[in-house]
Chains A and B, each alone.
Chain A
Amino acid sequence: MKQASFSLRTVLIIVALLVLLPTAVVLAQEIISSAEPGYVNPPDAFAPQVIGDDPDEDGYVGPVVESDGAAIPPSGDGEPLDPELFNPSGELQPDDNAYTGAGTEAVNAGWSNFYYLYVAGSALRPRISSVEWTSTGNGGCMYTNGYTWSNVDVQLPEGARVDYLRLYYYDTNANNSIAWLTSYDGAGGYDDMVNVYSDSNTGYGTTLSEYLGEVVDTVGKSYLLNWNPYSAIDGTLQVCGLRVAYRLPTP
């Protein structure tokens, strides 16, 4: 009889804990904030949102101020965009949609045309804090003062097939820099899926990786674009852009 009484008390305590524990967890979640400690949201600085009262909102019917093409402060120094890019001969490359090299048709049956994920070199940052980085001129290229990797996150559609990685670079060095598309499994594993080297010493240029043909798995992997100057850290090797060419499966 005494033991039953003890069991009842124990059960009641456990029930009480079960009730209190979730409450404590919720309270703790409210205390932990991404803002600095003690920060309180200010009163709304903007008028209550009315959709349709601004030109960049659906339903707006008022006057629109169009750009008059007047000069604006530039975000960098350098040349305007070159429509010829790197292909003045017009010769199609394997990562062009109109390319029809041997075997292309069979490999691409059931897949869409190319889509591109194109990241400016200056969007990369060193992956360790002790390394400095510099972006000069037009603001699109960057280099580091250390032989380390710089990276940028990429989000590719689940089930897409990555076919090529293209490196845009500045290279006046006898040696080359290198770029990768790398996947990580979150448990210490990584896979350099494809890489590409810069290839010249005459200044701006572009090189294309070999064909990859690997399907994106966003359930199991995260993806980064990596770049390493590898041979020089004096600005003679710079990354100016990285472009992933991928296809989507067609229904």
Chain B
Amino acid sequence: MDIEKLRADRPALIAHLRRVTAELRVDILEMLCESKSGHPGASLSSIDLIAALFYAKMRFRPEQPEWPDRDRFVLSKGHGVPALYAVLAHFGVIGREELKTLRKHGSRLQGHPANRLCPGMEASTGSLGQGLSVAQGLALASRLDGDRFRVYCMIGDGESQVGQIWEAAMSAPKFALDHLCVLADYNQGQNDKLVREVMPTLEPAADKWRAFNWHVVEIDGHDIAHILGALDEAERTKGKPTLILARTIKGKGVSFMELNMKYHGVAPSPEETQRAIAEIRGRAS
């Protein structure tokens, strides 16, 4: 895989990502099945966004995860971390075999991101609402040092019920952090119920971010071409941070998990995993 070549050939990148995201979904399901715990819904809703970001934009060195000039990706919705582990293993930042240690005693792959333990984690997250502030701090540091790196941060829609998200939503445009891009994985579900049942007034979400002076791009978060276009637009946008409001489906790719809140925080059984993998591979072939 020559990533620079793919970055220069958009149709090839899109085709490649369509294949890769199917395999990453399989990795996520196998990982969760092995650990017998974890959050399939948010991992499956975010994997297209995370994979596209790493393939198309992130500047990083798999063999040197602490490279100071690397772009930063802060996964604020920490429960979706199996998706990030799958992508990091795909690029060799962590070992593929290590994926089987997810959530196990002694593993670097904690149930939620732990940056002191695992490469590729830029902050420890999992208490919702905290990562965007950290991303803002990283972006300010980058700015002080002459815009050395870009900062990406993924938040969720359930997570956007946390007040701290809106503190950072208010402040990042004040600092004109145009090298900060938020990927909002609006997957419509949260722990107990659908987001529209828990907090219908989260919408209209795009208007709220625009009102704080963010550049907002609203997309289908499972459409690879849309995602890449939005990431391009974020890079082009000057003077303000960008929020990619990605409309996604919790559990995307596995019919019996889609928008089924049972799979917010419950791992699939071996039988369910096999069924899910057959469905994903059947669709991809």
Do A and B come together as binding partners?
A: no
What is the interface of chain B, defined by CB distance below 8 A to chain A? none
What is the interface of chain A, defined by CB distance below 8 A to chain B? none
